[in-house]
Amino acid sequence: MNKLSKISKRKKLKIYIFLSIFLIILCIAVYNQILIKVEKNKFNPPGKLIEIDGHKMHIFSMGDSNSSPTVVMTCGSGAPSAYTEFSNIQPKVSTYTRTSVYERPGYGWSEQASTPRDTNQIVEDLHRLLDKSGEKPPYLFVAHSMGAMEVLLYTHKYPEEVEGVVLVDGTSPYKHLYHSEASISDFGVKFIKILNKVGFVRIILDFELIPMFNNRLNSMNEEIKKIDKAMTYKNILNDMVLKEGNSLKTTAEEMYGKLDFRDIPLVLFAADKSMQELPGWGNSHNSLLKLSNDSKLIVVENTDHLSILHDSAEEIENVIKEMIIKIRNKKDKRSELMN
């Protein structure tokens, strides 16, 4: 009897422990879902929501609308929000020219779309968004990571609208053709989404448990950091992000060897850790340098792919300013010749 009693007590203890853990997880999950709804109402879009093909896209503009060129900024794949990504760059650039940060469907405050998510569609979405929002060319594009693909194609399709391009650790058709990286498995996607639903992603970010994310977040002011986290919980690995990634190789095949910027200025920033660790990153940047007769590469020390926008915000902003001066001087010379 004593043995049976001890076994019974152990079983009960295990059941109590299991139920306690289950209840704790359930409470965290419910609390997390409540917070997501609260955050959705708390953080209103700072810019305009423009309808494109039945879905609304977010674009946030600053600076004198009569200034030229308009600097248009876009983020990489899976970023929570382009608005938060460029929060250390856009306000400074806006003091001397017009700027716009836009968010693809499924990013930031932009709604998900029913249209395909290949780069051709993304470019057409952007072209219409800029027009409908009243932003005028010429444009100077600034893109991080995968955002480079839409900027490359936009510049090729509408060269008369573009007067400069800055790519920050940007990818390329070459990279996706010859050194494509394995995407997250279906199981991995589902697992991360479950972790997000039950609140573990919130715990990871709030308690800074993953060092690679901390540097990026800690470079933001407190309000922007709160928005960025809220957008992470809202948008993490949604269908738009996954469809973009799945279409990249096909798009790269269509683009490779066909792009030509001619004399449009092109500046590439590359993180030194990306050059060392990402397969084909150096060759990818060499392929990009060949697109323009006026191109250069800047390798930034002691930074990585996720952090470069924030670690090197001042350096990126200085290059944007130099390019704007160059564009304006070129425009002045054209006016002198015409007069």
Is pLDDT at 6 greater than 70 in this prediction?
no
User: Among 145, 128, 157, which Cα is nearest to 57's?
Assistant: 128
pLDDT band at 4 (very low <50, low <70, confident <90, very high): low
pLDDT band at 9 (very low <50, low <70, confident <90, very high): confident
Share of the chain above pLDDT 90, in %: 83
Neighbours of 270 (CB within 10 A): 24
What is the structure's pLDDT at 22? 85
Whether the ω angle into residue 69 lies within 30 degrees of 0, i.e. cis, is: yes
Across 123-128, average pLDDT: 98
Q: What is the mean pLDDT of the chain?
A: 93
What is the structure's pLDDT at 2? 59
Distance CA 327, CA 331 (A): 6
pLDDT band at 174 (very low <50, low <70, confident <90, very high): very high
pLDDT band at 5 (very low <50, low <70, confident <90, very high): low
pLDDT band at 339 (very low <50, low <70, confident <90, very high): low
Domains of the chain in start order, with CATH, are: 48-184+237-338 (3.40.50.1820)
pLDDT band at 302 (very low <50, low <70, confident <90, very high): very high
Across 13-20, average pLDDT: 84
Strand, coil or helix: 306: coil
Prediction pTM value: 0.93
Q: Which of 9-18, 20-29, 144-153, 196-205 has the lowest mean pLDDT?
A: 9-18
Across 18-29, average pLDDT: 87
